[in-house]
Amino acid sequence: MFSLCNTVQPQVTVPLSHLITAFHTPKTAAYFPSSASIQSLQRDACPDQETHSSEPTFNLRDLGLTELRIKQLDKIFDQLLPGIHTDTNKRPAHWHTSYVSSQSFFENKTGFPGVYNTLRSCSILRQQPRPLKQICNDLQNWPVFIQSRGFKTLKLKTKRLQSTSEIENTAPSFMKGFLMRDRLPDVDNLDKLVKNKNIPDGHEDTFKTGFAEGFLKAQALTQRTNDSLRRTRLFLLVLLLIGIYGLSKTPFLSVRFRTTSGLDASVDPVHMKNVTFEHVKGVEEAKHELQEVVEFLKNPQKFTVLGGKLPKGVLLVGPPGTGKTLLARAVAGEADVPFYYASGSEFDEMFVGVGASRIRNLFREAKSNAPCVIFIDELDSVGGKRIESPMHPYSRQTINQLLAEMDGFKTNEGVIIIGATNFPEALDNALVRPGRFDMQVTVPRPDVKGRTEILKWYLSKIKFDVSIDPEIIARGTVGFSGAELENLVNQAALKAAVDGKDMVTMKELDFAKDKIIMGPERRSVEIDRRNKTITAYHESGHAVIAYYTKDAMPINKATIMPRGPTLGHVSLLPENDRWSETRSQLLAQMDVSMGGRVAEEIIFGTDQITTGASSDFDSATTIAKMMVTRFGMSEKLGVMTYSDTGKLSPETQAAIEQEVRSLLKESYERAKNILKTHAKEHKNLAEALLMYETLDAKEIQMVLEGKKLESR
């Protein structure tokens, strides 16, 4: 509604829409550059109201009434307000008395604080709540206005618009983007634009028409753009939620844990039909033990008819690279039962109780699909010895749950657990007892026969020269594991490809073996003549001692080419597998280690010895200590072992140190005697190394026997 006041007539209210329609109907061509306002009209009509009324004022330009004259307003009012005529007849005084309700009943009862000529309406706007409450309220139909009473005037409409603007300013940014329309920037006054643009006279109407059309088109385009942006944001949000949900349902790599939170950790069996026991070479005893387990799973009646029970656990123990995990894969490929795989490091996480929960979920799934096999790799990560630690009071929950599941109050018939570890001494005693792990299978490094089988298997996967004898390579790779033999064949194939050859020959296999044993060559290193000479005599000293000592290992190769962290290297390889070491063999190893420093002292003097013998002394000292404290090879201390020397008496510690020092001194003197006796051979070998840099076993033998080497 819209209200007008007059000094003679009482207030009359009419619909605002009727008034606006009436104002826009009789347009006139006259134009006033200065706009009149309702405020000025009200001031002329009723000046005494200014001190009492707080009604906001509006420009006629906001209502589209800038082109109307004041005289035209009177005509419009007369046409708009039918039936309102000035009554010339004098009425009684009580007809001129009017009462306006106050804002409270107390004021109505006790009296009015002042005289008001206009009805006052009160709007109660919602106050700004706290941020969390505001977010919750903004998701509903906001802004919410609670109007207690009053007319819907332009004043209230303006207040609502202002309140909406304030709420939009304080609303969260994500609500503005998704749930609220972006407000358009304010446009300058049209008359101001006309004045600033210097529009010629007579073109104002054309400018206004074009401005209005452009404004409407821009507003429509902006609205379409905002709607498109909101739809795009909603689509991306839905797509993100769908992606997160899909990732939560994806199996976690090979562990088969679908989630890592521990709250929903269901597992799936592993299907690995492409690996069988035919792929396992060099560990026949371990393969035979696991084949019995597979046979038990396939045909349990064959064993239960005699009263036997299915073994609960098999523990695979051995050094790294010997094939423990490969054996478990073969069991998964051979056994026609569900196979579950998990790593010991994947149970525990940052949350307390996650590891125990995953153990329960794993065994619950396995029991529901019995008979089945559970393989836990790196068992020492989850089955280590329990300790009392105030720093980790909940660290024992996972292993306690594992112990209870394997052999607790409730039995788990038909579930076999296979564990693999490199550190069996780190496992808890309660875990490795019979009833949990009934069988302990050792997977050692392969012997000559096993290495030959492994080399044949991996050579069959590449193109190689038929003249290669795998047994010769196997005898020269004593102590190699299956993984190292696989790496040897792979390195040889890569070398042949780099050299542009069609197949792998013995030369590439020797290169790969030297690279693994001595390290890669560093040909880019520039070493001066003096250091090369010292290195040549140092390495030739090792070779001479190894050649003339009775129980020393045979020489494989000697080089002064920098390899890895060393400037030179002498490789020694036994002819056969050594399952134990004799006292003479240990003393020979000490003598060979002393050969480098002895050669430097004899050739260059005590003032020119270098630091290159530090690793040799470490090796010799370690052997001497083990002979005294572990092997019982000391005549003075006898056959007693000393595992923890820190807890021994000072006298015993001094005796051990004296015996170790005596062994090292005797070894040093023996090496010095050999080099002084064979000084000529020592010099010839050093000169050959300076000329050729690398010599193999046959070439070293020819030089020490005084024969000339063939030119390369």
Nearest to 209, CA basis, from 227, 194, 198 = 194
- The DSSP letter of residue 570 is E
Find residue 4's DSSP bridge partners. Answer: 12
Q: Are the CB atoms for 1 and 15 separated by under 8 Å?
A: yes
SS3 (DSSP) at 28: coil
Cα–Cα distance measured from residue 583 to residue 574, given in angstroms and rounded to the nearest whole number: 16
Nearest to 269, CA basis, from 435, 441, 415 = 415
Pairing mode of beta strands 694-696, 555-559:
antiparallel
SS3 (DSSP) at 305: coil
539 is catalytic: yes
| 129 prior amide bond cis, ω within 30 | no
Residue 146 burial (CB count, 10 A): 8
Q: How far is CA 23 from CA 5, 19, 37, 154, 443, in A?
A: 18, 6, 14, 16, 103
Neighbouring residues of 182: CB distance < 8 A, sequence distance ≥ 6:
176, 222, 226
Residue 610 burial (CB count, 10 A): 15
Would you list the DSSP string of 94-138? GGG------SSHHHHHH--SS--SS---EEEEPPP--HHHHHHHH
Q: Which of 289, 508, 539, 681 is catalytic?
A: 539
Nearest to 485, CA basis, from 530, 461, 454 = 454
Q: How far apart are the first and last CA of the chain?
A: 114
Would you list the DSSP string of 351-378? STTHHHHHHHHHHHHHHHT-SEEEEEES
Cα–Cα distance measured from residue 512 to residue 458, given in angstroms and rounded to the nearest whole number: 14
The residue behind tokens 């030179």 is 568
Find residue 124's DSSP bridge partners. Answer: 146
Q: Count H helices, E strands: the chain?
A: 24, 12
Q: Are the CB atoms for 464 and 456 separated by under 8 Å?
A: no
Please identify every residue annotated as catalytic. 539
